[in-house]
Structure 1
């Protein structure tokens, strides 16, 4: 497989990961209707993600369950920063400023990824990449809020926590890029989830959680949350990054998540799709196209300038 084919494979894997992540909102809403608190949802997402991947690897390839001390350290840091801390700051941001505003701040992650890719991985920046990232952030704002945010109700603490969630979310790619030099994507995801749910244990309401395990509907939704919107997309995303694609591109390509999430909400939950939200979704698609073909556009731009 030549380099271009490898990159194309990486782009597809990252976008497939975004599609799977797009199911998260629907599944979480189903779990919330059962009376499950957000801290418990964070725990079961990581626990069932770990459990499903452990069972899968146990049958497929037990060698992928092996990891050394360095790998344990990296995945422990990942579990703490990109899972436990992320869930804590994001859910508390939602509590203080609402779902829409918190989600907009979460999708500042591509901006942070652009910065990390320059600082740590010496990626070449271009005007086309920067344009794609800026367009991605603006279109996310439109798609999530419809262009309407009540600034009077915004809490400074909630805003800072929302920005922190975007920062934490962006670190997933940074740590995985480092870890993938030695470890398989499945192994990284498995142990990051393991440490994630261990670090989350002090925050959960254990009695409520035990009672929920008696409910078959809860078990079905929890398993779906752990597999369809957790272990599978993370393995796909890390697999995509392992092909060597730029992190700045991966951050925008994974925005397929938001498109799928909005479409599912409209189709299944009958949420209203305004013209502004629809325009935001279209602009996300445009930003993905720009980032995907940024090298081509940059070459064209240079030829025109010459």
Structure 2
């Protein structure tokens, strides 16, 4: 094993980075599903089904499985499942009520929430350099998504509230994962979260017709894409986060997961031939700078 990865914190950081990279590519690949007529919630459902099958298979092959024992432990795991569903549901609502840049940018508010909680709960000592890292990351995200100009012309406040709610749910996952990891195995936690996504998205789709799309292409084509999205969007990143966050810690994991945005920008240029403007490029550089600065300080 590589000597750096022999360190548990380094292994955890690598796993969280893997999740961020997957979600970055996912943000590009999901556009092909939209082009087929699928809605965000339909994609979310199909990804959850694929991930659930994968985790059920892995769980069956596991030699030992740790499950929550008390009602309190199950309650914490249930909270993780609800917040996992909340990220996807509130993001869809934000995307529906306003420009995509609103939800994509406000989601990054999970970073100061994690950092503030870590300071107030005495998990980490306050450092100006880390605060600067978080601010640089937020600024980079706002610049890369051109959120400032979008916010100025926004009339509906619903997109703002939904985007902020998604960020709260996302931050909660980072904060409670180290706790629930003490009472259940990573594979079981991953299966629980993916099943929560499936059941929740089925409920949303059945009760809200507006969340349904009209898939116009061949079903086989969509199923093939759904398999890819299932691995890239949920199966790989969920298990990576469930294993990585307890090892790397909530604050560092939150920062490392923000690699999603620059990966999405770069992969959209490579896969979709979208131009990287000077503004988007500057935003990506700032996000990477914030990640490096925070990581350098955390490693000391």
Q: TM class, shorter-chain normalised? A: 0.7 to 0.9
- 1:224-264 CA-to-partner distances (Å, cap 9, x unmatched) read 22212212112112222222x33222111111111111111
Partner of residue 186, structure 1: 187
- The count of aligned residue pairs is 294
C-alpha distance in structure 2 between counterparts of 1:212 and 1:78, whole Å: 34
Q: Does the CA contact (< 8 Å) of 1:253 and 1:291 recur in 2?
A: no
Structure 1 counterpart of 2:144: 143
Distance 1:34 1:3 in 2: 41
Deviation at 1:62, TM superposition (A): 5.5
Q: Would the aligned equivalents of 1:40 and 1:205 in 2 still touch at CA under 8 Å?
A: no
C-alpha offsets along residues 96-122 of structure 1, whole Å, 9 cap, x if unaligned? 121112101111111111122234462
| Alignment-derived partner of residue 240 in structure 1 | 244
In 1: Cα distance, 2:252 partner to 2:95 partner:
27
Contact 2:38 2:214 in 1 (8 A): no
Residue 232 of structure 2 corresponds to 228
Contact 2:194/2:234 (<8 A) preserved:
no
Structure 2: tracts of 5 or more residues without a match? none
TM-score (norm 2): 0.88
Most deviating of 110-119 and 145-154: 145-154
| 1:129 Cα offset (Å) | 1.1
2:280 aligned to which of 270, 277, 295: 277
Counterpart of 1:172 in structure 2 is 173
**What's 1:93 paired with?**
94
SS at match of 1:273: coil
Task: Report the 3-state secondary structure (helix = DSSP H, G, I; strand = E; otherwise coil) of the residue aligned with 2:65.
Answer: helix
Deviation at 1:131, TM superposition (A): 0.8
Q: CA offset at residue 205 of structure 1? A: 5.2
Indicate conservation of the 8 Å contact 2:95/2:103, yes or no. yes
Structure 1 residues 15-24 or 114-123, which shifts more?
A: 114-123
Deviations 1:110-161 (A, max 9, x none): 1111122234462222111111111111011111227532512342121111
C-alpha contact (below 8 Å) 1:49/1:225 kept by paired residues: no
Q: Which of residues 237, 249, 252 in structure 1 aligns to 2:252?
A: 249
- Determine whether 1:266 maps to 2:294: no
Q: CA deviation at 1:290?
A: 0.6
- Give the equivalent residue in structure 1 for 2:114: 113
1:217 to 217, 221, 242: 221
Residues in 1 aligned to 2:120 and 2:47: alpha-carbon distance in whole angstroms: 32
Q: Is the 8 A contact 1:93 1:162 kept in 2?
A: yes
TM-score normalized with structure 1 length: 0.86
Q: What 5-or-longer segments of structure 1 have no aligned partner?
A: 300-306
State the partner residue of 1:304: none
Of residues 24-33 and 64-73 in structure 1, the stretch that sits farther from structure 2 once superposed is 64-73
User: Match for residue 201 of structure 1?
Assistant: 202
Q: State the distance in 2 between where 1:120 and 1:3 align.
A: 28
Q: Which residue pairs with 1:302 in the alignment?
A: none
| RMSD (Å) for aligned C-alpha atoms | 2.8
